[in-house]
Structure 1
Amino acid sequence: MEFEEVSEPVSPTSQYFNSSVLSLSILAVLEFEVPLDDSQTMSLIQNVFLPINPRFSSIMVTNDNGQKKWKRVEINLNDHVRVPSFPPGMSLEFYDKCLSDYLTNIAMDQFPQSRPLWEIHIIKHPTSNAAGNVIFKLHHALGDGYSLMGALLSCLQRADNPSLPLTFPSSQSSSKSRQNSVSIFRSVPRLLTAMFNTISDFGWSILKSSVVKDDRTPIRSGDDGVEFRPSNIATMTFSLDHIKQIKANHDVVIHPLFL
């Protein structure tokens, strides 16, 4: 199968995320309540996943003028799909550690620039939270977290009626009623406070990135070359009720990726 070269230029953000000094990827894990059957994996990727975004079938190339563009290429799905095997008959806690170690290992691996910047890893072994896991590793140059999560969710179907699109509970009606109950005299101070906080946070970010250094903490050691040391991925589960409680207690806005 041959593709025509895509004329879409690579955005400055995508170039920044995929450079010689920086390479950022997104790891998304789907947990399944039933054991995984990967017999239809290749057909689903070919017919459902790849058509979502042309960048899933493209590589980043540089033309004669030094401009980076996305170029459609032929894909060998076997280069992008991994099915690791762990020792059989072990405890759920053992497979929890295997999954954590596996996530850590693939997070440190760099994408080859000769093929599209994504991988799918199918974990058939059960863990404490799921009967199976599917890991999507997507390079940040393909898009931001919000658009990529939307692309992944568009691949899913509703269990009760697959013909209907996947939807989530909306808080639009409750937010509208709350908004109508707030008078303009209370809205204006909130707007001014939000503007002040935005400007303050932006200015503080500029200072911290150029002049002011972060304090040393158990998370930030401040040692030179720490970015080149081995990393370890740890997971923590929050229920939606806990997230809503945090939002209410601190009167903050929750990032859309959490919802």
Structure 2
Amino acid sequence: MGALLYCLKRADNPTLPLTFPSFTQTSELSSKSNANATSSFATVSAVCSSLCDFGWSILKSSLVEDDKTPIRSGDGAVEFRPVEISTLAFSLDQVKQIKDKLRVAINDVIAGIIFCGTRLYMQGRGNKMQNSNSTALVLLNTRNIDGYKSLKEMVKVGKETAWGNRFTFLHASVPDPIIDETFNPLEFVFRTKKIIKKKRSSLAVHLTGQILETLRKYRGPEAAAQYIHTLLKNSSMTISNMIGPAEQMALADHPIKGLYFMVVGVPQSLTITVMSYMRKLRIAVGVEKGFIDSQNFISCLQNAFELTFKAANKSG
């Protein structure tokens, strides 16, 4: 993505660089989180939790598979089947409004809406599937940089700007639906916040990253790719997000109205990516064609967003 952004210029003034949301707050939160994590790792319970999470990650990469559900066919060679891609956009200001009302992170809001929409879709496709075991793989960037780097900076030799992918996975169980008369979509946001906070404070995320790096160094990229392939195959969905430019971009003097990215060729029936651009948050959904109804799924995500937005405003 860095190489692509390097080829794009600002539509209003090509001589000015693209600007991105500040990473200062994220860094501060990350430092605070790391400090809290360091303190919590000193306790026996935190160590046990990390070992359990890491053991679960190993099992998911080898033996344990998610249930077959309306979002996971479980068939072999899914990565070679046709993929249907659909998108929808939310107002970034409205997403931030939800964040401020609930006092959570933007990622908690986004993931909560995605999980709520996913469960609504699963519930609509069959009630017997609504409490099934479904796991989402959340991609985490482990590159040690404090913001956007240009292509020239990326190819320079150095630890902070080394070229290539640096990532790990966070396993997040899709929260079970709340099926009663007092259904509250905000519960998905709060549950998601709890799950992600627990996983982020676990050493399992870092250990998983170390496994990938060790496999790549000592057994070659094929072994690392096989590990990732099995991890994806045994899970139900992948969620990946990226912060995009705040200004409108242009390619060869042609303004770009919308921008999204998609991961294809993975052994999953459902892949979701999120990218901000020009005060809009665009969600792209890649599904196994003929198995998942993409338009129905998009409608469920839209419904989940509207329900969450209304509930958040009422809670304030």
TM range (shorter): 0.3 to 0.5
Q: TM-score, normalised to structure 2's length?
A: 0.31
Max Rg structure: 1
* Higher RCO structure (Cα 8 Å, ≥6 apart): 2
